[in-house]
Amino acid sequence: MEIFKFVRTNRIKLTLPETERSRVFSQRMKKRVFISVTSDLVTDQRVRRAATALNEAGYEVVVVGRQLKKSSALAEKGYQIVRFRLWFERGVLFYMTFNLRLFFFLLFKKVDILLSNDLDTLLPNYLISKIKFIPLVYDSHEYFTEVPEIQHRPFVKTTWQTIEKLIVPKLKYAYTVNNSIAKLYFDKYQIHFDVIRNVPIKIPVGTFSKEELRKELKLPKDSFIVILQGAGINIDRGAEEAVQSMKYVQDVLLLIVGDGDVVPALKQTVKDEKLEDKVHFYPKQALHELMRYTHAADLGLTLDKDTNLNYKFSLPNKIFDYIQAGIPILASNLPEIKNVIETYQIGEIILDHTPATIAKAVEEIKINSFQITTWRNNLQRAQQELNWSHEKEKLIALFHKVES
């Protein structure tokens, strides 16, 4: 006590070196952002891009997801990753246990800003934001209450609709993937959603040419390769018709890279129709490896159907992955997808999903080298404009608004 009295009396300044003071100040001022998502983060590019961008902008970021039995290991890249191990991996019990675990996890953590990804993490985040008086940001990856998986499950759909109606109108900060979904939310709740699109970081594949990539990946050198990729290869996304279309084409190989509800049925179809030489399956890949397959292809497919509002207004990650890989796109006639393809003139739209229509389009594209060259030239402009370097500035601006 005598020492402190002597210091105060004589006004002695206890100082740290400039660099050390800066470090201490920045640590004291750094905001802690907790990002929540129900995925295992292996293929969740949107969440990982957001985490990286916020970390680079000076936030201390913690990403909370889940650990599946078959989940790959993840390396932390400047931010902390926490993945819950749960007894249940799907269904009502999964969502209940995940949300309870997330609530108590956040309750006992020092948090400055919450970022909730999709409706299935919104409730615990909202409750914590009210208990701790901290801001909540909501990222709607899709129009959740219209996803096809819950349309014939009235109790489940009503539960999610109730959560949405109770919370979304009260949100101050929210964003989504495209203008169509933002408009749906505004029309329904009169709340503004910013738009931050699902565009990728431009990822170099190395110095390999397409031929070298095919050799390394054990893909045929001379075939016209078509790719359908995604973590959600599910019903009504055109995968069944894409597989059936391979019966009507020559010297074409379809790569299905990813996972989803219909993949087991697709594999059975390939076996039944004896299409093993025309359709190859690959499990979901880390982003860098996924893009190697995409770069090795000649044409990318995105064939979602207009069976629900979520698919109708979707703008899937795969479109932007195809663009960054420099391959043209064959797509279904949905407004957001059509707008991108026609704006940049980088592919073709089909008007129906019959296997014969898909096969005819693939065959015509395959032999039209002039059109392919034109599309590839146009893709270079799209690559410069449709990448994460532009979209992440919107994200950072939104978080600066949250802090102000």
* Segment 220-249 mean pLDDT: 92
Residues 50 and 63 in one domain: yes
Residues 242 and 142 in one domain: no
Q: What is the pLDDT of residues 132-142, one digit of tens each?
A: 999 999 999 98
Does residue 387 register a pLDDT over 50? yes
**Placement of tokens 């170099």 in the chain:** 204
What residue numbers bound the domain in which 239 lies? Answer: 210-385
Residues 218 and 175 in one domain: no
Q: What is the pLDDT of residues 188-234, one digit of tens each?
A: 999 999 999 988 887 666 666 888 999 999 999 999 999 999 878 88
- pTM here is 0.79
Does residue 90 register a pLDDT over 90? no
**Placement of tokens 């796109």 in the chain:** 329
The verdict on residue 237 lying in a domain is yes
pLDDT band at 335 (very low <50, low <70, confident <90, very high): very high
Question: pLDDT at position 27, please?
Answer: 46
Question: pLDDT at position 14, please?
Answer: 38
Question: pLDDT at position 389, please?
Answer: 87
Q: Let me know the angle formed at the C-alpha of 118 by 116 and 122, rounded to the nearest 5 degrees.
A: 50
Does residue 316 register a pLDDT over 60? yes
Residues 167 and 38 in one domain: yes
Residues 156 and 54 in one domain: yes
Cβ-based neighbour number of residue 205 at 10 Å: 17
Q: What is the pLDDT of residues 30-70, one digit of tens each?
A: 899 999 999 888 778 899 999 999 999 999 999 998 888 77
Question: pLDDT at position 11, please?
Answer: 40
The verdict on residue 278 lying in a domain is yes
Least confident of 180-189, 332-341, 385-394: 385-394
Residues 274 and 375 in one domain: yes
Cα 157 to Cα 322, 364, 385, distances in angstroms: 33, 42, 37
Question: pLDDT at position 23, please?
Answer: 43
Does residue 8 register a pLDDT over 50? no
Q: How many domains does the chain have?
A: 2
Question: pLDDT at position 207, please?
Answer: 61
Output 299 or 66, whichever has higher pLDDT: 299
Q: What is the pLDDT of residues 20-35, one digit of tens each?
A: 444 433 444 689 999 9
Of all residues in the chain, the percent with pLDDT exceeding 70 is 91
Least confident of 69-83, 108-122, 279-293, 318-332: 69-83
Distance of CA 5 to the CA centre of its chain: 59
Mean pLDDT, the chain, as a whole number? 88
Does residue 7 register a pLDDT over 70? no
Output 78 or 167, whichever has higher pLDDT: 167
Residues 184 and 240 in one domain: no
User: Which of 250, 252, 247, 210 is closest to 228 using CA atoms?
Assistant: 252
The verdict on residue 292 lying in a domain is yes
pLDDT band at 4 (very low <50, low <70, confident <90, very high): very low
Query: Which are the contacts of 4, defined by CB distance < 8 A and separation ≥ 6?
Result: none
Does residue 252 register a pLDDT over 50? yes
Residues 221 and 288 in one domain: yes
The H or E element that residue 158 is part of is helix 154-167
Report the CATH number at residue 89. Answer: 3.40.50.2000
CB 125 within 8 A of CB 137: no
- Please compute, for residue 369, the number of CA atoms within 13 A of its CA located in the half-sphere on the CB side: 0
Residues 224 and 272 in one domain: yes
